[in-house]
Amino acid sequence: MKRHALLCAILMVCLGWAVAAAPVEVSLAYPVAVDAPITAMLKGWAQDYMAKNLDVKVNLIFSGGYPDVKTAIQTAIQGGATPPTLAVMLATDVYDLVNAKYVDSLDDLVAAAPGGAAFIKDFLPAYMGNSHYKGKLWSVPFQRSAVVLYYNADLFAASKLAPPKSWDELGKDAQALTVDGGKTRWGIEIPTENPYWTFQPLAIGAGKNVFTDDVTLNFNAPEVIDAVQFYLDLSQKYKATPPGVQVAWGSSTQNFAAGKTAMIIHTTGSLAGILKTAKFKVGVMAVPGKVAGTLASVTGGGNLYLTAGHTPAERKAAFAFAQYLLDPSRVATFSQATGYIPHRTSATATPEFKAWLVQVPQAADAFAALSSAQPELATQNLNAVKTIFNKYLQNAFNGTQTPKDAMNAAQSESDKALADYR
């Protein structure tokens, strides 16, 4: 009898140990619509992390793009399912995500984690603008970018042209480099199927960002209207870019690398892919402003969020995995492989990144553009506001409305969309 009791006790201890030792599961939802070997990197890092942390199991969930990840999180929570623990979503989605209670604050995890406060302090201030809301921390930068001007430096040299320092120089350079009315080569392409982001540097370069804060818009400011007119001038005055809306986010980089266009305005996240495929010297700089000697850019990209509805153990494990992914050396490696700008001060000081800058000076130019960058459009009810703004930008680009009429309409409709938040 005593022996039986002893065996039962031993069995219970063993079973209890097995339950306690079961790994905590952490899942990461990631958008893969980027021209870079990111999935292979993430898979390798997940395997390495699990090998070093046997009490954690990491699952990677790859979706098509930022909207797909956000929709998956929304669908899971609204349907009563458990969403992926971590998700890379647009930094600018913070207001919508917090208001809908789709994400959790990170403050308690930062306070409890070893080195948590130093970890947060190390992120570049330019990329932390969308991380806080209502006095709390909701996300950390993960893959952050900026809008830059890529130019074919060999073509510029052969044509005895210097990189443009103003709107007028940009237009004239693009005009000079256009061949056969664009049939052989355009001077510049600006993808505008989702135009607000690539348009923002033009507005900033005119002297006014398109918004001031999460409920204050500047869509019909004279400077913004001026920027819309300059976009039109590139095709109507300088004859240097395709007229109207350019549905060419992916093809614009391909056209540039193939020599079919001399310049493009695009994301730094395309740097690695462009350098890999282009057979010429690639120049990178912030977008020239209206006034000679001024430059403009806008931040962009995704942050890492902790979704709502997870146990304390899952939240703790998720934050620890986030700290692992965002180790300075991995941030530097991620930047080298993709062109995304390092978002941690310590990452820019790593031997890997310093060596990369020597090997690829364009990476330093992309990083320098950050000093001219202002925040990406981020407001309450963001999807509605962006939809309205994009609609009227495209109306102006396509010539169905004047720049002034289009921006007045955009301002009026967007103000109504924000009325309940003011």
Domain closes at, from 325, 350, 368: 368
Model confidence at 1, pLDDT cuts 50, 70, 90, reads very low
Output the domain CATH number for residue 337. 3.40.190.10
Residue type, 338: T
DSSP structure string for 162-220: PPP-SHHHHHHHHHHH-BGGGTSBBS-B---SSTHHHHHHHHHHHT--SEEETTEE-TT
- Which pLDDT score is estimated for 65? 86
Residues 286 and 389 in one domain: yes
Q: How far lies 225's CA from each of 198, 372, 394, in Å?
A: 15, 21, 13
Q: Taking all residues of the chain, what is their mean pLDDT, rounded to a whole number? A: 93
Model confidence at 36, pLDDT cuts 50, 70, 90, reads low
Over residues 333-358, the pLDDT tens digits come to: 999 888 889 999 999 999 989 988 99
Within a domain: 95: yes
Residues 49 and 165 in one domain: no
Residues 349 and 233 in one domain: no
- Which pLDDT score is estimated for 17? 44
Residues 249 and 182 in one domain: yes
Within a domain: 8: no
What's 28's DSSP letter? E
- Which pLDDT score is estimated for 33? 62
Over residues 364-409, the pLDDT tens digits come to: 999 999 999 999 999 999 999 999 999 999 999 999 999 999 999 9
Residues 320 and 293 in one domain: no
Within a domain: 17: no
- Which pLDDT score is estimated for 18? 43
Residues 45 and 123 in one domain: yes
- Which pLDDT score is estimated for 47? 98
Asked whether the beta carbons of 353 and 337 are under 8 A apart, the reply is no
Give the lowest-confidence range in 96-100, 243-247, 254-258. Answer: 243-247
Residues 340 and 325 in one domain: yes
Neighbours of 324 (CB within 10 A): 17
What is the average per-residue pLDDT within 273-285? Answer: 96
71 pLDDT more than 50: yes
Asked whether the beta carbons of 156 and 150 are under 8 A apart, the reply is no
Over residues 179-218, the pLDDT tens digits come to: 999 999 999 999 998 899 999 999 999 999 999 999 999 9
Residues 104 and 203 in one domain: no
What is the average per-residue pLDDT within 73-88? Answer: 95
Model confidence at 5, pLDDT cuts 50, 70, 90, reads very low
Compare 32 and 28 and report the one with higher pLDDT.
28
Residues 401 and 264 in one domain: yes
Within a domain: 5: no
What is the average per-residue pLDDT within 45-58? Answer: 97
Residues 234 and 175 in one domain: yes
- Which pLDDT score is estimated for 34? 52
- The model carries a pTM of 0.88
Domain closes at, from 345, 368, 391: 368
Residue environment code for 257-279, b if the CB has 16+ CB neighbours within 10 A, otherwise e: beebbbbbbbbbbbbbbbbeebe
Strand pairing category for 24-31 and 86-90? parallel
Give the lowest-confidence range in 171-180, 208-217, 299-308, 352-361. Answer: 352-361
Within a domain: 7: no
What is the average per-residue pLDDT within 151-159? Answer: 98
Residues 202 and 217 in one domain: yes
Give the structural domain span for 363: 24-144+300-368
Within a domain: 114: yes
Q: Single out the residue of 410, 388, 378 nearest to residue 220, CA to CA.
A: 410
Within a domain: 16: no
Residue labelled with tokens 């989605």 = 93
The number of folded domains in the chain is 2
Residues 334 and 412 in one domain: no
Within a domain: 125: yes
What is the average per-residue pLDDT within 229-244? Answer: 98
- Which pLDDT score is estimated for 22? 87
Domain closes at, from 368, 386, 403: 368
